[in-house]
Amino acid sequence: MNPFDRRQFLKLCMSGAAIAAAPFSVSAATTAPRVVVIGGGFAGATVAKYLRLWGGNIDVTMIDPAAAHISCIGSNLVLNSRASLSSLTLSYNTLINTHGVKVMKDSAVSVDPLARRVYLASGARLDYDRLIVAPGIDFLSIPGLDPNIMPHAWKAGSQTLLLKKQLEAMPDGGKFVLTIPPAPYRCPPGPYERVCVVADYISRKKPKSKVIVLDANADIMAEKHTFSTAFNGIYANIVEYHTGVTISAADSSRKELTTSIGTIQGNVVNVIPTQQAGKIVFDTGLVPAGARWAPVNPLSYESTVVPGVHILGDSQGTGQPKSGHMANAQAKVCADAILRSFAGLAPDAAPKTNSACYSPITYDTASWLTVVFAYDPASGTMKAVPGTLTEAPMPTKDNFEQMFGWMANMFSDSFA
Amino acid sequence: MTKPAMMLITLSSALLTTAAAHAADPTHGRLLASQCAQCHGTNGHSVGSIDSIGGTDLYKDLLEMKANIKPEDIMHQQARGYTDEEMRLIAEYLSTQPGGSD
């Protein structure tokens, strides 16, 4: 045992005793440590649940303007009627009734990180010992773009239903235009998966129609084998895939886009704009000038800019993929680190996170994508463990069934 | 020093080392195992069609997956991402959880 190990060992032994004697009370104060969570998506719900599950007497308040969360995971399946929006609507009731999380239907308007206080739209204010900011993504604006005419459907809910309605109203022989933003964006395989479900619908209902894909990236960003096989194989007569295309303006009334390869018009124009961290993340000063995401220490997801504030999910900038599954994965590392900090302990020094996700490719087959990340002490970053970033060899019916099993546990592990 | 005394010391230091590894981080196994829950349910208790993994000892299964990676099986790819010791900690934590599915 070298001196460093011995010090750590002694510290951990003492902390073990501390855990047994006085769980997570920093001082002799009788009040429970207060954690405020901004955002009730996969990141926010999971961290709130696990703080209570693992921490016991922690005062956890989660703030979200919605009465329930509508999952983006599975929402492409609404477009070809393989899932309903109601099956993707996740209540906060179990978090409240079983786990003792306080949920406030409200919006955080500002944070005072020095006073450790959050101000809400209702006029209420909340003091915290630790703040978790997990608001998801915001979109960069495109001149002339009206999302009520050219929907993104990249936040599930009314936008998903609008896009479905437009797809179903499209004439046979129509053009469905889909734009893919520059990476990083929420859900790397998501846009390509959407191409597949729209192409599936078209192949069955409107076979003379086309899907025109305008990708800002130089290549397919996830599951290249799976999606290029689909685009060039079963969907070769439907999908027209362009790379390196940027969108500079939109004419919503004409359903027309000004792009780097000319003006492109469609019957349905599904514009997924460039993304960045949620507004409250910028307003709290968590994003350095010129950046789009908030830098954090991946051992705790605590901001490297503002102490006491943790950023989870799509808004954090560790470089791990932005997805509900990863948000859940990170939330557990964060919950563990916060509970340790209340006990006077350093974060777990060797966390791992993983991603596994299923993508529908046809009406009844799906693929999967997976990776395991490990903390690399030399660089202080999460790095993919070599050999773990893999995709399914081919889409299968078994995977399509497993996809629903994965969704059921994803939803339950995060929200129930 | 007599032979039995030396053996005793060797034995006790071996025990201490093992104890140290366990005590070093009482929640490390729990944190690692929590990463299984997105697919297998909280504490390995599945509410869907994917297998529950709580209440069973998975250590040998995990080692076997890593030793014989099948490209079509997502778990085999995941198994590549963990050391044997991490697998042991994950299996140990999950084995203490209630089993079964909803």
ipTM of the complex as predicted: 0.91
Chain A CB contacts of B73 under 8 Å are none
On whether any CB of chain A is under 8 Å from the CB of B24, the answer is: yes
On whether any CB of chain B is under 8 Å from the CB of A282, the answer is: no
Counting one residue from chain A and one from chain B, the pairs whose CB atoms sit within 8 A come to: 113
A60's CB contacts (< 8 A; 6+ apart) are A35, A37, A48, A51, A52, A100, A101, A102
Nearest to A325 among B38, B72, B82 (CB): B38
Contact A9 B24 (CB under 8 A): yes
Cα A23 to Cα A10, A102, A127, A340, B26: the distances in Å are 19, 20, 21, 10, 14
Write out the two tokens for A362.
């046809």
**Phi, psi at A203, each rounded to 5°:** -60, -30
On whether any CB of chain A is under 8 Å from the CB of B93, the answer is: no
Which residue in A1, A14, A354, A375 has the most chain B C-beta atoms within 10 A of its own C-beta, making it the best mutation to test that interface? A354
Which residue in B13, B18, B27, B38 has the most chain A C-beta atoms within 10 A of its own C-beta, making it the best mutation to test that interface? B38
Chain A CB contacts of B28 under 8 Å are 348, 350
B/e letters for A272-307, b = 16+ CB within 10 Å, e = fewer, are: bbbbbbbebbbebebbeeeebbbbbebbbbbbebbe
Would you list the DSSP string of A98-128? TT--EEEE--EEEEETTTTEEEETTS-EEE-
Contact B31 A348 (CB under 8 A): yes
Beta strands in A323-413 (DSSP E): 352-360, 366-376, 381-384, 390-391
On whether any CB of chain A is under 8 Å from the CB of B30, the answer is: yes
- Rounded to two decimals, the pTM is 0.90
Triad A139, A141, A147: Cα angle to 5° = 80
pLDDT of residue A86: 98
Contact B81 A408 (CB under 8 A): no
pLDDT tens track of chain A, all 416 residues? 343 343 443 344 334 333 333 344 344 445 899 999 999 999 999 999 999 999 989 999 999 999 999 999 999 999 999 999 999 999 999 999 999 999 999 999 999 999 999 999 999 999 999 999 999 999 999 999 999 999 999 999 999 999 999 999 999 999 999 999 999 999 999 999 999 999 999 999 999 999 999 999 999 999 999 999 999 999 999 999 999 999 999 999 999 999 999 999 999 999 999 999 999 999 999 999 999 999 999 999 999 999 999 999 999 999 999 999 999 999 999 999 999 999 999 999 999 999 999 999 999 999 999 999 999 999 999 999 999 999 999 999 999 999 999 999 999 999 99
